[in-house]
Amino acid sequence: MTATLDRASTVESFTTLPRTPRQTRPLAYGSSPARPRTATPRDAGQSSTPLRRALADGAVPGRGAGQIHIATPQLQLPSKPAALVLRAARLSGPVFRDDAAAQTGLSISTVNRQVGALLKAGLIRERADLAPAGAIGRPRLPFELNVTDFLTVGIHIGYKVTAITTYDLLHRVVGAIQIATPTAENPEQTLQAIGASARRFVGRWAGRRVLWAGVAMGGRVGEGGIVDHPRLGWEGAPVGRVIAESLGLPVSVASHVEAMAAAELVVNPDDKRSSFLYFYAREMVGIAFSVDGTVHTPAAGPPVIGHFPVGGTRLLDPRRTGRLEDTASDTGIVDAAVANGLDVHDVEQVHELARGGDPTARALLEERAEVLGRTVALIADIFNPDHIILGGQAFTDYPATLPTLAKAVRETSVAERRDVRVSRSGTTVQQQAAGAVSLDAIYTDPLEAIALTA
C-alpha cells in the first residue's frame, strides 16, 4: 500500500485517524559482511545527463564488468519525456498513447518514441486484451507499468529500528521486514550487517530483477552517500558505498525527512503547483519544504530543529533541557513517564496506559501534542506553505491527541486558518520514504536508470 494523505482539513476540523498497529519482526544478520572495495570516481567527462552527473562522483567498481553507482536523488516530479510517459502509465495505466500525449503535453510522435523505448527496456507492457473491438488495421493497444518483473529495495536506517522493504514500480510494498539497528564498533560494520540482511531478504525474489536500492536516514547526506548522523555518532559514514557493495546494485541515499516529503509527491502528483511543509516527529524531529513539485534539499543539509526551545513544560522534559527533541521524541516521552512514576520501557507502553485510562500517560501525550502543535505553527508562519503535512508515529500512533495539536496550531499561528493534513502512512512512513528514494532514479530518467543496471 502506498502512502496517501488524509482529506484536507483545517485546524478547526482536524480528523482523528485510525491507529495502525506496529509490526516489528527481527531478522538475523549473522552472515559475513561483504569484502570492502576501494571507491574510484568515474570520468566526469562521460556524464552527459543529470543522472550520470549525479552518479559521477559516487561510482565504485562493481561485480563483473559493470559498475556499482551511488546517486544523489532528485526528489522531484519528472520532466524528461520518457519519465513523463512512465508517469502516465503509473497514474493512469492501462493508458492509450493519445491519452498519454494529452496528459503529458507531449506530441503523439514523441509519445510513440518513448513508448517504444520503454517497451524495449521492459519497464512497460502493452495490453492486447484491451484493444478496441472492431478496430481496423493495427489496433491501438494501451500500455501500463510492468509490475511483475522488476523490484527496488528500500532501507530506512533509524536510531533504533531499520526497515528493509521491496517495492514494485508502482511504489507498492511487495515485502518488508524490520530489524533492530545493529550496534557495532564503527558505522561500516553496522552498515555491513544491514547490507547482509538486505541481501538475504532480496534473495527471496530470485525470479525478479532488482533495479535499484534506496537508503533514507536522519542526519546530513553528502555526495557519494556519505552521512553524518550525530544521534548515531556517525561522521563521514560510507553509507552509499557499503550498501552498494553489499547488494551489488546502484544506490541512492537521502535524508529521511526529505525522502518522506518526496513520497508525498509520488502519491499526490496532481498538487504540483502548491507548496507544502512536511513535519516529521518520532524519535527525531525534522522538516522539509516542497514547492512546484520539488523537495528543497539545502547544500548544508536538512534543517535542524531538534534544539528548538519549547518553553516551560508541566510533565515533559524532566531534565529541563528546553529542547524540542529531548521533550517530544519517543525517548523523551519515556524519560518523562519514568520520572513521573510510570513503569514503562518504551513509548508503546505509554500509549497502552493512556488507552487504558491512565491519567499521567494521557497528560504526557496531550502535552506532547501541545508542544508539537506550537512548533508546527511557528515554523509554518515562517514558510507560509499552502499545506502542512504531519508525518511520523508521534502523530499517528496515538491519534486521540490530534484535536489538542490542532488547537495548539490554531492558537499559536498568526494565520487565521492553516490547511493541516496527516499522512495516512502511519507506521509505514519510513517504508514509503525509502521506497521513494529507491524509485527516484527510475522515475526521473527511466531509460538511463535501466541502462545503468544492465
**Pair 104, 248 in one domain:** no
Q: Point out the least confidently predicted range of 47-56, 109-118, 422-431.
A: 47-56
**Pair 226, 292 in one domain:** no
- For residues 83-89, average pLDDT: 96
Cell, residue 256: 529521511
Any domain includes 36: no
Closest CA to 420 of 405, 435, 431: 405
Query: What does the pLDDT read at residue 49?
Result: 52
**Pair 162, 216 in one domain:** yes
**Pair 170, 252 in one domain:** yes
Going by their DSSP bridges, the two strands 251-255 and 209-217 should be labelled as parallel
Closest CA to 374 of 326, 433, 312: 312
**Pair 280, 139 in one domain:** no
**Pair 134, 153 in one domain:** no
Query: What does the pLDDT read at residue 428?
Result: 85
**Pair 54, 178 in one domain:** yes
The residue ranking higher by pLDDT, 53 or 43, is 53
Query: What does the pLDDT read at residue 7?
Result: 30
CATH of the domain at 124: 1.10.10.10
Which tens digit of pLDDT belongs to each residue from 324-353? 999 999 999 999 999 999 999 999 999 999
Taking CA atoms, 424 is separated from 144, 155, 162, 213, 441, in Å, by 26, 20, 20, 24, 25
Any domain includes 30: no
Place 44 in a pLDDT band, splitting at 50, 70 and 90: very low
Which tens digit of pLDDT belongs to each residue from 269-313? 665 668 999 999 999 999 999 998 899 988 777 888 999 999 999
Q: Which of 122, 145, 168 is the last residue of a domain?
A: 145
Tally of domains within the chain:
3
**Pair 227, 362 in one domain:** no
The residue ranking higher by pLDDT, 269 or 75, is 75
Place 81 in a pLDDT band, splitting at 50, 70 and 90: very high
Q: How many CB atoms lie within 10 A of CB 31?
A: 12
Any domain includes 247: yes
DSSP state of 25: -
Any domain includes 254: yes
Which tens digit of pLDDT belongs to each residue from 120-143? 999 999 998 888 775 554 558 899
**Pair 417, 274 in one domain:** yes
**Pair 301, 420 in one domain:** yes
The residue ranking higher by pLDDT, 50 or 327, is 327
Q: Which of 125, 145, 165 is the last residue of a domain?
A: 145
Q: How many CB atoms lie within 10 A of CB 319?
A: 12
Cell, residue 395: 502523530
Q: Point out the least confidently predicted range of 6-10, 73-77, 331-335, 387-391.
A: 6-10
What's the CA gap between 257 and 293, in Å, rounded?
16
What's the domain range around 214? 44-74+148-262+431-452
Q: How far is CA 431 from the centre of its chain?
A: 6
Any domain includes 346: yes
Answer yes or no: pTM beyond 0.85.
no
Place 40 in a pLDDT band, splitting at 50, 70 and 90: very low
Taking CA atoms, 422 is separated from 4, 281, 365, 378, 379, in Å, by 9, 12, 17, 18, 17
**Pair 207, 255 in one domain:** yes
**Pair 130, 163 in one domain:** no
CATH of the domain at 65: 3.30.420.40
Answer whether residue 2 shows pLDDT above 80.
Answer: no
Place 426 in a pLDDT band, splitting at 50, 70 and 90: low
Any domain includes 38: no
Which tens digit of pLDDT belongs to each residue from 176-233? 999 999 999 999 999 999 999 999 999 999 889 999 999 999 989 998 999 999 889 9
Any domain includes 3: no
Any domain includes 134: yes
Query: What does the pLDDT read at residue 63?
Result: 40
Going by their DSSP bridges, the two strands 9-10 and 70-71 should be labelled as unpaired
**What percent of the chain lies above the pLDDT cut of 90?**
70
DSSP string, 76-98: B---SHHHHHHHHHHHH-SB-HH
